[in-house]
Structures are given as structure tokens and as C-alpha cells.
Amino acid sequence: MDAGTTVVVAKQTLITFGTLLGIGTLGGFLASKIRIPDVAIFLLVGMAIGPEGFALVEIRADSALNQLILIFGSCYILFDGGASLRFKVLKEVWLTIVIISTVGVLITCFATGLVAYFALHTPMIVALLLGATLASTDPAVLVPIFKQVRVKDRVAQTVMSESAFNDAMGAIVTFAILNIALGLGTFDVHETLFKFIKEAGLGIVAGAILGYLAALLIAHEKWCFLTEYAPVVTLMSVISAYMVTDGMEASGFMAVFVFGLVLGNKNIFGFRMEPNEKKRMEEFIMTTSFIMRMFIFLLLGSQVSFALMNKYLLPGLLIVSALIFVARPLAVYLCTLPDRKAKWERNELLFMCWTRETGVIPGALAGMLVGMKAPGAEMIASVTFLAILITIVLQATTTRWLAGRLGLLVEEQPRPHMEHGKRSLPPPVPIQVAETQGY
């Protein structure tokens, strides 16, 4: 590629980014006005501006730029979600999180796969491959939702933690079933669980170490010489946590989630930041996280193939309905049953049954299966994108309403407005964070 061509590509990329930022900001503003999570608006707007709509944006799903945005964006949103959680709450529900992130994935996989087998008249192994692809929930969707909709702490933190932990399990089960479909192995529950424990364990250890080191460098009484550069430290650490852990063939997403969890709870380790530095870092993370989810879901929407979805529309709707109304409730009720200590209430379980959005991770798995020419890959990609569209548009937009109906909605504290003469200016939109995070 000559210099002239490189400049043209660079300019086109800048135009694309500017378009995404401009349209995304308006979409976020609209979401804040109608009080629904912005990821739903971003997805719908992305479908409108993509190649099959007004063709304002076209970034191929298999391009390096798209993969960069998906990987880093998902990592940063996971880090942000981890930093919002509190050890005190997680201690109450850890057993539920562990069971629903492992056994729950298997239950969802087999229940959805069974429906797919009858709906699509496809071989059982291909149906199970689809079930495994859809089995994990998505932190890139759920973290922003609970940032914007204040729900009872232990419910929100359980759902967010599950979405971080079950990504690794979903990927492991997907590729274990793929190996069987390709005649390269057999499915072994013990081996699958061992692999999950290994990948998750290495991710937890790597994330905890990097989280502690980052807290040491930005918040220790004597060693905090990088306090002024705290936002840069978080960026560097998120990238390092993912790349180092991924290089060890472990869960990079788990590592960045735990990194955020440790950094967000740094006060437990005796670390403190000056109020102005803490506020500066929080504002940076809120803005960056907003931009990342804007880019992710606008691009995800722009890459939806209407022709492919239409090909499997009717059986796809049946499968997605089974995923929402059968597989998810089955997983939630069976996986919370052994956790007597948590004492889950009926309204909490009902909310957890409904809140299981499909998003970036299942979409990425489906894309990988297409690239590997896996059996039934085209069908899997079609149903996966249908699941992403339906769960985000239907479930994300009704989260606030359902939480209110079930008595789980927490009243948002009014934020002080800046005084300007006799007028009170509203806080910036669309970045909405209901509570101060403990970075």
C-alpha cells in the first residue's frame, strides 16, 4: 500500500469515527430522554447506518479495526463493571455466581440445543453448538444497563459477575462441542470444568496481581508516584491484563474484570486517593466506557445481515423464545437452589430470569465459527444475531420497568446542578452513572 493510499484510508477511518461519535452522542442523548439503556438505541441506530441501511458506516466484521474495537471495548467495559462491584455484596452470593456461571451454561446449552434440534431439523451436535454459542450472557450489555438503571445491589452484582465468569465457560463448551462435530474429540464434563477452572483461575490471579500493583502505584501513601497518571495506568493495565492472560491461554476477560474488582475495592487494602484525583479518574473512565459501548453496539448493529436473519427467521424466533422463557428460568432456578445462604426471593429470581442479554461475546463466537467453516455456521450466525437483536431491544429496554414492578429499583440520588446566574444547568448527558464508583 503506497503512501497516498494510506492517507486516503486514514482519512476514511477518521470520517467513520467522527460519524460514529456524532450519531452515537445523539443516540445516547435520546436514550437518556426516554429513559432506556443506550445500548438498545445504539444497536438499532447501527442497523440504520450500516451497509443494508443508509450505508453511512461500513466496517467489516472480520477486519482488524473491528476486532480491535470489540476486544478493547469489551475489556474496558468489563473493567468498569468489576470496579463497580463490592466484595461485601459478593461474599453473600458467591456460590450462586459460581454455579450459574458453570452449570448454568451447560443447562442453557442443552435446553436451547434441544429446541433447536426440533425447530431446525439439524443434527443434534450442530443444535448443541448453537446452544453453546448462545449460552453465555454479555457483560458489554449488562454492565452499562446496571450503570444506568439502579437495581438492588446483590441482584445487579450477581448478574454482572455471572456475565463476566460465564464467558470463559461458554467459549470452552462451544469449542469442546465443535471438536466433536469435527470428529476431533469427545465431550467430557470433568475435562470441561477443569479447563474452566484453569482458565478462570489464571485470569483471577493475573487480574488480582495487576489490580493490586495499579492501586499501589496510584493510591499508596509512599509509592503513588503515578497518581497524576491514574487514567493512563488503567488503560495500560487493562491491555496488559488481557494480553498477558490471553497469552497464557487463560481468560483475558476474567483478568480485566478482576483487575477492576481489586482496583475498585482498593480501600480494603488500605489505599486511598485524593478526592480531586479520584474524581478525575472516575470522569475519564465514565467517558471512555461510554465511547466504547457506543462504538461496539453501533458497529454490531451495522453488521447485521437482514437476508441471513430472514432465512432462519421462524425457527430462529422459536429458539430465541425458548432461550428466554425456558432455558434461562431453568438455569436460574436450578442454580440458585443449592445456595441457601443467599435466601433468594421470588422477585429477585424473576428479575434474574429476564435479564440475560446476548451480545458481543456470543456474536464473536458465531463469527469465529463462520471463519472456521464449522458445521451449520451460517445458521448459527443468523440465529445468534437474531438473539442479540431481540434480547437487547426487548429485555434491555424493559429492565427499568420490570425492576420497578418487582420492587427492586433503587431510588437515584439527585445530582447537584451547576449554578449559572439564576438558572440551574443539568448534568452532562448521555453519560449517566447512578452512584459514585469506588475506583
On average, the pLDDT of the chain sits at 85
Q: Which residue has the higher pLDDT, 30 or 307?
A: 30
Q: Which residue has the higher pLDDT, 431 or 366?
A: 366
* For residue 132, pLDDT beyond 70: yes
Q: Which residue has the higher pLDDT, 106 or 188?
A: 106
Give the span between the Cα atoms of 386 and 368, in whole angstroms: 17
Tell me which amino acid residue 391 is.
T
Spatial contact of 234 and 283, defined as CB atoms under 8 Å apart: no
DSSP assignment string, 344-400? --HHHHHHHHH-----HHHHHHHHHHHHTT-TTHHHHHHHHHHHHHHIIIIIGGGHH
Q: Record the pTM.
A: 0.80
Please state the φ and ψ torsions of residue 423, each to the nearest 5 degrees: -105, 150
Three-class SS of residue 424?
strand
Q: What is the mean pLDDT of residues 319-346?
A: 94
Provide CB contacts within 8 A for 328, sequence distance 6+: 108, 353, 354, 356
Q: What is the mean pLDDT of residues 226-230?
A: 88
Spatial contact of 138 and 374, defined as CB atoms under 8 Å apart: no
Measured CA to CA in angstroms, residue 85 lies from 263, 371, 437 at distances of 10, 36, 9
C-alpha cell at 401: 420497568
How does pLDDT run across 387-432, given as a tens digit for each residue?
988 998 899 899 999 999 999 998 655 444 434 444 444 444 444 4
Give the span between the Cα atoms of 363 and 368, in whole angstroms: 9
Residue ranges per structural domain of the chain: 9-405
What's the pLDDT at 6?
A: 84
How does pLDDT run across 143-154, given as a tens digit for each residue?
888 888 899 989
* For residue 334, pLDDT beyond 80: yes
Whole-number percent of the chain with pLDDT over 70: 91
DSSP assignment string, 125-162? HHHHHHHHHHSS--HHHHHHHHHHS-B-HHHHHHHHHH
pLDDT winner (highest mean) among 49-63, 117-131, 371-385: 117-131
* For residue 114, pLDDT beyond 80: yes
Spatial contact of 359 and 389, defined as CB atoms under 8 Å apart: no
Spatial contact of 223 and 216, defined as CB atoms under 8 Å apart: yes
Taking the mean position of all CA atoms in its chain, how far away is CA 50? 22
For 9-405, the fitting CATH number among 3.40.50.300, 3.30.70.1400, 3.30.450.20, 1.20.1530.20 is 1.20.1530.20
How does pLDDT run across 279-320, given as a tens digit for each residue?
888 889 889 989 998 998 898 888 888 888 888 999 999 999
Give the span between the Cα atoms of 80 and 272, in whole angstroms: 18
Measured CA to CA in angstroms, residue 293 lies from 78, 107, 301, 303, 387 at distances of 11, 29, 12, 15, 18
Tell me which amino acid residue 314 is.
L
Banded model confidence at residue 362, pLDDT cuts 50, 70, 90: confident
What's the pLDDT at 428?
A: 45
Tell me which amino acid residue 283 is.
E
Q: Which residue has the higher pLDDT, 437 or 233?
A: 233
Q: What is the mean pLDDT of residues 353-374?
A: 83
What's the pLDDT at 425?
A: 44
